[in-house]
Amino acid sequence: MQQKSANNTKSSRRLAFQWLSAVINDGRSVNDILSRAEVSEGVGSKDISFAKQILFGSLRYFHQIKAILDQLLEKPLKQKDQDVWVILVMGIYQLRYMSVPDHAAISETVELCKRIKKPWASGLINACLRNYLRRVSEIETKLNHAKTFQTSHPNWIIRQIEDDWPERSQAILTANNQRAPMTIRVNTLKLARDQYLSQLSQHSISAQAHPLASDGIVLETPCDVFKLPGFESGQVTVQDAAAQLVVDWLDLKPEQRVLDGCAAPGGKTTHILQRQPSCQLVSVEMSETRLLRIEQTLERLGMQCELKCSDILELENWWDGQLFDRILIDVPCSASGVIRRNPDIKLHRKKTDIAALVEIQSQILRKTWQLLKPGGKLVYATCSIFKLENQLQIENFLSENEARVADLPKSIDGKLQPSASVGLQIFPGDLQMDGFYLCGLEKPS
C-alpha cells in the first residue's frame, strides 16, 4: 500500500459516488458519464481529479474489491440498498489502494451515508471497513489463489485471453489494470510535431514523440485537454497511437474517394483529412449525438467532409452508388483492448455479447466490401484482442471472398512482434498503445 497523504474534500467523494453509482447500478459507461458530467459550483479541479481517481480505481479493481466485500458482509445488501454497497466499494478502494489516511477514508466514507440520507448504514460501513483493516492479511491470503482476485477480471475474460494468447495472457491482464497514457495527435496541417513538442516544453509539459505513430505525442502525465497549448484552435486532438496507425494502412492518395464507415468519435475521420485534405471523404455514423461530436471536432480542427447519420448497413439511406478507392471500418467490438482506459468494460461486457458482435462485424465487412473499387483497399480495425473478432473474422472472410491481404506499411513493418495469423494484433501496453487490431484487404483489379 502507498504512504498515506492528506484528506480530500467531501464534495469529491460525493461526486465519485454519483459517477460510480451510475456505472454499477445504472449500467452507464464511464465515457458517457464524464462527457455529460455537470459539476456543481465550488467543486475544484483537484476535487474532480480525486473523484476520477476513485471512479477509475474502484472499477479497475472492482473484482478484487467485490471478493473482499463478500468476505466481510454476512449477507448481500438488499437491492434498494445498492447505493450503500457502492459506498463500501469506495471505502475498500481508498483503504487498499490509495494514499488516503485510514481514519480519513473511514470517516469520510461513513459520512457519505448521511449525505445520501441513509444514516442507518453508518454503523455497518464503519464496522465493515475497520474489520477489513483487522483482517486484511487473512482475507488476502484466503483469496489469493483465485484468478479473479489476482487479476481483477471476470472469469470469462481471463479464460478468453488465456485461450487466445496463452504466452501473453499474464502480461495482458497486468497491463489492463494499469493507467493508460494520454496520447495526442498533432494536426500537421497547422504545424509540425517537433514544433508542437517545443510548445509543450515552453509550457512545462513533459512529453515525447511516439516511436511508431508519426503524428503522435505521449504526455508524461495526463492533463486537462484545455491546458494543452493550441487545443481549442485545432493544433492537436486526443487519440491513442494505435488508432493513429490506421492512416498508414489506408495508403491514401490525393483526390481519392474515401469512406469512414463507423466514424465516431471522429479521430480517424480527421486524421484522414489531415493526411489527404483533397480526398472526397464520406463519414457514416448512426448515432446523432456522436455525429454531433464529430462535427464539433471537425470545426475545431478546421476541416470538413460529408457526414451521414445512418446505420452503415442501410445503404439506401446514405450511399450515392459511387464506389470508393479506400474504406475504413473500425467496427463495433468487445473493446477488450481498451480495458485499461475503460475499466467499466469488465463490469458491462458479457461473454454472450461476443457472438452478436462477431455477426455485426461480418455483416459490415461483407457489405462495405461491395462498395470498394477493383484495385481499392479496405482496412478492417477493432479495439479488441479477441481472435474471434480479429484474425478469425478475417480468415473466414478470405475463405469466401477473393481478396489479398495487404503488406504491413513500411512505417510499421518490423517494429512490432507479429502475433496474429493475418493482420496486426497490438496488445495493451505495446509501445504505450491500446490493444488494437488492423488488417488491410485489397480487391483484385
48 vs 8: CA distance, rounded Å: 11
Catalytic residue among 262, 305, 383, 439: 383
Long-range contacts made by residues 153-156, C-beta under 8 angstroms, separation at least 24? Answer: 153/63, 153/346, 154/63, 154/346, 156/350, 156/351
Q: Kindly report each contact of residues 152-159 with a partner whose C-beta sits within 8 Å and lies 24 or more positions away, as own/partner.
A: 152/60, 152/61, 152/62, 152/63, 152/64, 152/177, 152/346, 153/63, 153/346, 154/63, 154/346, 156/350, 156/351, 157/336, 157/346, 157/349
Separation of first and last alpha carbons in the chain: 61
The answer to whether 176 touches 168, Cβ cutoff 8 Å, is: no
Pull the grid cell for residue 103: 481514519
Q: DSSP characters for 110-155?
A: HHHHHHTT-GGGHHHHHHHHHHHHHHHHHHHHHHTT-HHHHHTS-H
For residues 140 and 150, give the distance between their C-alpha atoms in angstroms, rounded to a whole number: 10
User: Are the beta carbons of 385 and 337 closer than 8 angstroms?
Assistant: yes
Number of H helices, E strands in the chain: 18, 12
383 tagged catalytic = yes
With beta carbons less than 8 A apart as the criterion, state whether 217 and 184 touch: yes
What are phi and psi for residue 305, nearest 5 degrees? -155, 180
CA–CA–CA angle 341, 347, 349 (5° rounding): 85
Nearest in space to 230 (alpha carbons), one of 276, 291, 270, 184? 184
Angle at 311 between CA 435 and CA 340, to 5 degrees: 20
Lookup: cell for 243: 488508432
Contact 364, 370 (CB under 8 A): no
Q: Show the CA angle centred on residue 60, arms to residues 287 and 212, nearest 5°.
A: 70
- Which residues participate in catalysis according to the annotation? 383
